[in-house]
Structure 1
């Protein structure tokens, strides 16, 4: 897996920053709580492409 495959796109990073900015209630994804942008982005970058896309979509949906 190349470094490019592991990185988040700019729109994904921007949305994650908006989702996690000032959050006081964690978003639970894959049984793990995420309260900060840093934690969420590190977790997403550690996943394979398909799993990352699914976890990102779940974060996005639960943030609504």
Structure 2
């Protein structure tokens, strides 16, 4: 396994992010940044360290459940 594969988002994470951001009209706030599309969110997550990525992913997941237009 390469270093790039270790830093990539897993299949489950990618699928959930796609569900969260599909057709979203209200952005999700994570790390004091707003994300409206899957691409914005995934690019940001991939730029983080694994520990920071977990926290930001959890914040996005929580924001989708707590915010308007939730799953």
TM-score normalised over the length of structure 2: 0.86
The answer to whether 1:55 aligns with 2:68 is no
- 1:6 corresponds in structure 2 to 7
| Number of residue pairs the alignment of both structures matches | 63
The gaps in structure 2 that reach 5 residues or longer are 66-71
The gaps in structure 1 that reach 5 residues or longer are none
Instruction: Give the Cα separation in 1 of the matches to 2:35 and 2:15.
Output: 16
Instruction: Give the Cα separation in 2 of the matches to 1:50 and 1:4.
Output: 16
Deviation at 1:5, TM superposition (A): 2.3
Give the alignment's Cα RMSD to 1 decimal: 0.6
TM-score normalised over the length of structure 1: 0.94
Deviation at 1:44, TM superposition (A): 0.3
